[in-house]
Structure 1
Amino acid sequence: MAEDLRLVELTLFCQSTDQSAGIVRDLICVKTHLLNLKVGSARGPTGEAPPVLISISIPCDVSGATISDNLSRSIDHASIHTVLFNTLPTRHYTSLEALADYAGNLVLQTSKEVSEVHIELAQVDLSSVVDSISLETTCARDGVLRTGRFVLKNLRCLTSIGSEPLQRHTFCFDVTIQKNMDLSHPFDARALAESLERDFEESSFSTLEALTNFVAKQVLLALGQADDVVTVVGGSPNALTPGDSTQLKITRCLADFPEEHIASNDRTNCSSSCVSLADLLASVLPNISTLTPKHTVAIALGSNLGDRFANIETALRLIEQPNQLLANMDADVAVSVINTSFMYETAPMYVTDQPRFANCACLIETNLEPRTLLRLLKKIETTVGRVPSIQNGPRAVDLDILLYDREIIDTRPEDQRETLDNLVEELVVPHPRIAEREFVLRPLADMIPEFVHPVHKKSIRTLLDDVIRQSNIDFPMLKVIPFADYPITEIRQLPGIDQVPSMGKYWSTRCSNDIQRPTKVRLMATLNATPDSFSDGSVNNTLSAALTYAATSVRAGADIIDIGGYSTRPGAAFVSPEEECQRVVPVIQAIRSHEDQDVSSALISIDTFRWEVAEAAVLAGANCINDVYSFTGPEYPLTEASAEHLLKMREVARKLAVPVVLMHSRGDAGSNKDYNHYKGGVQEGVRVELGERVEAIIKGKGGVRRWFIIVDPGIGFSKTVEANCALLREASLMIANTARNPLAGYPQLIGSSRKSFLGTILERPDIDGTYKGRKTQPKERGWATTATVACAVQQGASVVRVHDVQDMRDVVAVASAVWSFC
């Protein structure tokens, strides 16, 4: 295939070129034929990933190169081709849209002269249902995919037409779909083709017109978007070859099927919980009106002296207390933190001989004017402990206004604006050095990647890409999760805010646009202080046994102990919050009092979905909350009670400032396993449903800091065996850095240890019947767990939750060594 990949075709359309009118009619076409790329879960008839045909066209003006024959006036299409050839096969793409997005941005990054890229992709040899699926779209310099055109070539369906309904024939169609690109909800054309095949199994029609119209209608109802347009070209059996028979071509949109459209919306727009979580939250939150207009402001926070993460948390809490810090403020002054970025550890810039920084950013809503807001931030710096130092030198905390709405502000006299050496007590917005600072752009891109900089006229995402390409920093930025130290031993009360715990420990993850990999895969040991857990009920439910397990696990290499007092297995007995506390709090206190310092200082997670238990456990010494219901409680479908539960859990987690593991589930672990109404199946279902909860937890006034969130796809909870395998196999896609993915970039925990789906797999006989399968108890699934843990490491999981720490430590060590070089 290499010879095909080297083919570069230069096609020039120069006739009637009118440069004065800005019309460009020249194209450079870079064609790469039949790359074996992994796109989604698509497999061909042989079980291999179907090959993808790729063609890139670059609109340009070649007149300079044609006249001068000067290489510097030409687009370096050879470099573009080489980059595509070397880079595209190294990744797994969630969809054709994701592949188009990556390929387009790859070309734009390779050649600054290119302003937009036209992309044509085609998957061939897919299945017996359709010959090929292709996508044509355009990627612009702002990094956004434009409207795309999907084509299903030779879509086949078995049905009957006319007076002989029992006589069924295969009819063939070309289906063209014009739709808006949405990377967070990719179009699964293969699944659509297969669902159409099922629709035709019981169908019969009197006319070709009715059959063709039915195809258009079913496609539009599956898409469910009012702007989508479908064109169907069809004929009688195997009759797309001209001259074989009559053909019919129709074009339709959803407006042509009003009754079916309404019914479809009732089905598909209704999520699995019937009412969206956002609507439920709106129904239980008080209706707050403001008398003064609000501004949205982006603020950068940094610290490299003292307790860096606690300093930043303190500053964030003080931001919301302007009346406590500034004199003579109006009563209706308001400042609310409504979003935060991830937290990063970064190398110092400009003055490099100093400690590494903790850096992040937040968005606030406020009615403070810029100068007053600047005064507030300076007062916060002093309150936290910043003292005068050299410019760009060490500081306890540093707060900078990066953006204030879309305004351009410079408070200096006009004759003093030529340099950046006179900014003391002055304000320049947007911050003048945003475009050169990765440690500012990354946090902003976490929150507002598509925001267009008012001065540079580029999106934050594009500015970040520009900086990364030019970066030569030895120490890369690391994404970090800080852990609070509990119980609190040192009291430092500041005006108007809750006590901020010290934060001495943290975990880190490398920043990457590919599979996100932690600097170390962490082991979470599972300590069930219960009499009825599925795997080890009644084993560790005495204080001495629990303490022995904790100490043994820490010495074997556990990074955190997850203590639970309420089994979530199907049919488990109800446990009151009081009894749950009585089971877990003494265990936590005993660990904190252990004579071995390694054990007494170990990180502890509390496995609970109740705010009372979470609060009591953390105050007793836990450092993290692990919630199998991601703050919404056990009710399913979600109700107003679920929304109220979320708000209370969010309040407790925000006040305690601890990491939280948010797991996807749907009520009872053994129920609610149907994800068919999601076009992307279980992957899309988990991403949408868990993403909705994460967004509700981190955004808005009172939200939990983004850097405290760890996501868990909920292996074994409300999923079939096949769905669990799919989630494990493609776990990296759940947190992939694709546009509009609500889970993009979050560290991920995988908990598959000893679960029942492994037992189901082990019961299955071999395909040739030589092995009949065997029944297993949870404790007998160690080797099966090993396979899933190795898979989780390969997929970039940050944490694996296990029972057998010693054995799984070896698995993680070897798997990490194997995959760390990928």
Structure 2
Amino acid sequence: MFGSTDLIRVNDLLLTVLLSSGSRWPPKGARPTAQPVLMSLAIPHDIRNTAETDDLSQSVNYSTLASTLRLTLNSSASTLEPVFSSLESLAFRAFELLLDASSPSAPKLEGVYLKVVQIKPPLHCKTAGIESRAVTNGAHWHTLNVRHFIEDLECHTIVGVNSVERVEKQLVRINVSVEQGASFSLDRDTIDYRDLTRTVYNNVEKTSYLTLEALASRIALDVLRVLSSVVDRKGTKVVVKAAKPDALVFAGSSEVEVARTFDDYPNEIEGKTSDIPEVNVNLDHHVVSIAIGSNLGDSFQNIEFALRLLEAPSQVLTGEETPHENAFVNVVDTSFLYESAPMYVTDQPPFINGACIIETNLQPLALLRLIKGIEKLVGRVPSVRNGPRAIDLDLLFFNAAIYDTRAHDERKSLDNLCGHLVVPHPRIVEREFVLRPLNDMIPDFIHPVLQRSVSTLLRELTFSSVSAPMKRIIPIPRLLEFNTTIGCNAPPTLTHWSYPVPGTPNLAYSSGSINTYLMAILNVTPDSFSDGSQNNAISTALSYVQNAFDSGSDIIDIGGYSTRPGAEFVSVEEEINRVVPVVEAIRRLPKPVGNVPISVDTFRPEVARAAIKAGANCINDVYAFTGPDYHSSNLIGDETSREYMREMKKIAREYAIPVILMHSRGDAGKNKNYDEYQYSADKPVLEAIRVELGAKVDAIVKGKGGVRRWLVVVDPGVGFSKSVEDNLETLRHASRVTIDARTDVGENRKRNPLVGYPQLIGPSRKSFLGHILSTKTGNLPEPNKRVWATSAAVSCAVQQRALVVRVHDPREARDVISISDALWK
């Protein structure tokens, strides 16, 4: 920013100034306090001429500068002037003396670095001060940046993971820096050091964190809260260093440094609770979050069974336990499912963990009785604390209430929780297997005790975590003999798929533990764009299935109604007659091929139900439960679409079946204009997928009767209602479809609804591949001649961390996936 890299310095110039803001103690009345201040200067100046001539007239006379500052800024004992309202006003006056062209004493400088240190600052810290850099064009000067700092603020608190650190407070030394741009005006704005140090000191003394990482992050949040009304939120960064001088025998201290901005705490600054409203526990409508876990028996079946019982309180609470005849519980949101290593008692199987949000009119203790009754019905038996169990349900949040049934003198310990209810659950902050599921649903919810959001608590915990990485899980049910008419029965599990938690580096997982799944396409239609009439006969269909299975296919996708542009209408009855016999024939094959998972490629509820009853395990819907009519981001445009949504959700919930939901806009060859999404930093097509498919997924997952989040896979719709370039953009940046970012505009702006969902990508033999090939050769290859082109697209899909790729040629694709997995996973 300055023309010269040479600097002339004046270090620690001692001034005695009158500050209205006081020193160690607040000023008495309105009388300013005289006190020592150190001022340092760094002046950019090309000293080469002075060095060659050894002539001071060619340089800056630092003696004159120092004298000018002392004469002008030092207080007079007789007149008690000048008086400065703050360190900011003192710094402003110094810049005027040095850079203001109208000042007769101002030297000819191009700019100045200035540091002002209050060596008798407010209590508890060693020093406080301000640093700034200003430049001049010869006529006017202005600041480029301002940094406020508090150094060596000493507090005593409980912090550490060792048992001895949990019983006695230890010294923590804190340094805080507030960095701002030119928007902070030294003659207009000010930061109250006394209020800031008092807030940090008092809050730190009350904490009892396990890690310095969590403590430093909490301090940063507290500082930002104090500053929220006095600084420019867009241009402010807070840096906090927290050190433990007594932690290491052979080192001066251990220390953690964090940098935070207002963007890191979108809701905590005002303490907003965006997802769970504050509701009085005495009212008749409550929003409650519940953790779910299992590691014995068929864990997926146990979890689904428990959720179904949760919505049937009258079947669980009987006799005197029944709160009232109108009791209700509705599951309105669910998390992803996670596989995690056991905590506390480690000699037991891994756990499957998740969480749900419910709406209920039950009071806290009645709800506690309900979940204990559910645990008993599902099969939990008395065991060691934190030991294995068929099901484990824990109340995490009850509205935004703080509730503890223990006597006041018993609330200091966490070893006496048995038989009591404490919400928020006191161990939330130490359990990644609880925070991750909560973060899926309510990342911005503010913990009513800790006053930090769920996302912040998770970030603080995982920042210092050394535990094995968790995996996400998709259970695939065995439905051939499942009877949905038996009460709250839940289907058994055929198999399950696992995939990494988004954001976790692949290197954190053991080699070969992360794999891309392969879906083989079996079209039983006479007019498919690629392979029509090839597999219409049962014998040829079964031969294809056997070959696909032998090639390593993980699931067979059976379609009886072509989605190509201009395809002939097929009645519901005809589609069922095409699909169901093939499903039944596959299930009659000997094991293991007879147990291969099957998805049904349909948008019709009647076909989906018939295929599931015949043995299918998954629904693949190119219209994402809204039918074939195009409604863009206007989710459900008419009653027909609403009816599709209701019926498909009902089937998916009834059978606890995975669903693949694709982005489309009706006819695959139409509606390719995405200009309304030009506002996005990404290409418009990516934002369109996030907004349009996201709205549908939200409607499918959230609310009463929603599909479990852990059963949803999204498909960005490569080849559907997209230009060649949009298809390429979707494929090359598919991972951005599900990133954790803000989406949409105006009052609709919110967190990306698709954040974290696993993806299926299906580029196989698509027309855009043929178009690209034709531009090189002049000939448009037939779909079945696009195997190599498909292979390139599949490799890109794997690189973009797709969970599943959908192909017509599984043998070739398996080789491509194997190499691509080795390269990128």
| Match in the other structure for 1:693 | 696
Partner Cα distance (1:12, 1:337) in 2: 59
| Match in the other structure for 1:519 | 514
| Match in the other structure for 1:14 | 116
Question: What does 1:238-317 correspond to in 2, within 5 Å?
Answer: 293-317=284-308
Kindly tell me: are residues 387 and 109 of structure 1, through their superposed partners in 2, closer, same or farther at Cα, counting changes over 3 Å?
Answer: closer
How big is the shift at 1:458?
1.3
| 2:773 is equivalent to residue 762 of structure 1 | yes
Could you tell me which amino acid in structure 1 is paired with residue 637 of structure 2?
T
| Match in the other structure for 1:500 | 490
Query: Is the CA contact 1:323–1:329 (under 8 Å) kept in the aligned structure 2?
Result: no
1:539 to 511, 530, 534: 534
Could you tell me which amino acid in structure 1 is paired with residue 354 of structure 2?
C
1:349 to 343, 362, 365: 343
2:614 to 617, 620, 625: 620
Q: Secondary structure at the match of 2:395?
A: strand
Partner Cα distance (1:785, 1:320) in 2: 46
Kindly tell me: are residues 137 and 777 of structure 1, through their superposed partners in 2, closer, same or farther at Cα, counting changes over 3 Å?
Answer: farther
Query: Is the CA contact 1:673–1:720 (under 8 Å) kept in the aligned structure 2?
Result: yes
Partner Cα distance (2:660, 2:706) in 1: 15
Could you tell me which amino acid in structure 2 is paired with residue 806 of structure 1?
R
CA deviation map 1:195-219 (0-9, x unaligned): xxxxxxxxxxxxxxxxxxxxxxxxx
| 2:779 is equivalent to residue 774 of structure 1 | yes
Larger Rg: 2
| 2:585 is equivalent to residue 590 of structure 1 | yes
Partner Cα distance (1:27, 1:659) in 2: 58
Partner Cα distance (2:420, 2:153) in 1: 46
Partner Cα distance (1:308, 1:472) in 2: 26
Partner Cα distance (2:598, 2:259) in 1: 42
Partner Cα distance (2:340, 2:131) in 1: 42
| Match in the other structure for 1:809 | 814
2:755 to 744, 751, 755: 744
CA deviation map 1:70-121 (0-9, x unaligned): 99665799xxxxxxxxxxxxxxxxxxxxxxxxxxxxx998964645999xxx
| Match in the other structure for 2:673 | 674
Query: Is the CA contact 1:343–1:360 (under 8 Å) kept in the aligned structure 2?
Result: yes
Partner Cα distance (1:345, 1:451) in 2: 24
Query: Is the CA contact 2:428–2:434 (under 8 Å) kept in the aligned structure 1?
Result: yes
CA RMSD of aligned residues (A): 3.4
CA deviation map 1:272-324 (0-9, x unaligned): xxxxxxxxxxxxxxxxxxx9631110000101111101100010011111112
Partner Cα distance (2:259, 2:301) in 1: 36
Partner Cα distance (1:338, 1:389) in 2: 31
If the length of structure 2 is used for normalisation, what is the TM-score? 0.67
1:796 to 801, 820, 824: 801
- Identity over aligned pairs, percent: 51
How big is the shift at 1:488?
2.1
Could you tell me which amino acid in structure 2 is paired with residue 14 of structure 1?
V
Query: Is the CA contact 1:303–1:359 (under 8 Å) kept in the aligned structure 2?
Result: yes
Q: Secondary structure at the match of 1:456?
A: coil
Aligned length in residues: 588
How big is the shift at 1:25?
6.3
Q: Identify which of structures 1 and 2 has the higher relative contact order when contacts are C-alpha pairs closer than 8 Å and 6+ apart.
A: 1
Partner Cα distance (1:361, 1:56) in 2: 46
Runs of 4+ in 1 over 4 A off after TM superposition: 9-13, 15-25, 55-59, 70-77, 107-118, 135-148, 491-494, 514-518
| 2:557 is equivalent to residue 562 of structure 1 | yes
Could you tell me which amino acid in structure 2 is paired with residue 636 of structure 1?
Y
CA deviation map 1:684-719 (0-9, x unaligned): 011100000000000000000000000000000000
| Match in the other structure for 1:657 | 656
Structure 2: stretches of 5+ with no match in the other structure:
1-41, 43-111, 134-143, 155-170, 179-211, 225-232, 240-257, 268-281, 743-750
| Match in the other structure for 1:438 | 432
How big is the shift at 1:555?
0.6
CA deviation map 1:320-350 (0-9, x unaligned): 1111211244222111100000001111100
Kindly tell me: are residues 139 and 336 of structure 1, through their superposed partners in 2, closer, same or farther at Cα, counting changes over 3 Å?
Answer: farther
Kindly tell me: are residues 398 and 116 of structure 1, through their superposed partners in 2, closer, same or farther at Cα, counting changes over 3 Å?
Answer: closer
Partner Cα distance (1:26, 1:691) in 2: 47
CA deviation map 1:358-414 (0-9, x unaligned): 100000011100000000000000111111111111111010100001111111122
| Match in the other structure for 2:139 | none
Kindly tell me: are residues 359 and 418 of structure 1, through their superposed partners in 2, closer, same or farther at Cα, counting changes over 3 Å?
Answer: same
How big is the shift at 1:60?
3.5
Partner Cα distance (1:683, 1:531) in 2: 33
Question: What does 1:81-96 correspond to in 2, within 5 Å?
Answer: none
Could you tell me which amino acid in structure 2 is paired with residue 698 of structure 1?
V
Structure 1: stretches of 5+ with no match in the other structure:
1-8, 30-54, 78-106, 119-134, 149-179, 183-290, 766-771
Q: Secondary structure at the match of 2:116?
A: coil
CA deviation map 1:416-469 (0-9, x unaligned): 223222222210111111010000000001011111111112111111112112
Kindly tell me: are residues 12 and 690 of structure 1, through their superposed partners in 2, closer, same or farther at Cα, counting changes over 3 Å?
Answer: farther
Partner Cα distance (1:492, 1:662) in 2: 24
Q: Secondary structure at the match of 1:389?
A: coil
Query: Is the CA contact 2:115–2:132 (under 8 Å) kept in the aligned structure 1?
Result: no
1:367 to 345, 361, 373: 361
If the length of structure 1 is used for normalisation, what is the TM-score? 0.67
Query: Is the CA contact 1:570–1:670 (under 8 Å) kept in the aligned structure 2?
Result: yes
Q: Secondary structure at the match of 1:61?
A: strand
Could you tell me which amino acid in structure 2 is paired with residue 544 of structure 1?
S
| 2:528 is equivalent to residue 530 of structure 1 | no
Question: What does 1:701-712 correspond to in 2, within 5 Å?
Answer: 701-712=704-715
Kindly tell me: are residues 11 and 333 of structure 1, through their superposed partners in 2, closer, same or farther at Cα, counting changes over 3 Å?
Answer: farther
Partner Cα distance (2:263, 2:174) in 1: 31
Moved more, 772-781 or 755-764: 772-781
Query: Is the CA contact 1:404–1:429 (under 8 Å) kept in the aligned structure 2?
Result: yes
Partner Cα distance (1:345, 1:477) in 2: 6
| Match in the other structure for 2:481 | 488
Could you tell me which amino acid in structure 2 is paired with residue 433 of structure 1?
R
Could you tell me which amino acid in structure 2 is paired with residue 543 of structure 1?
I
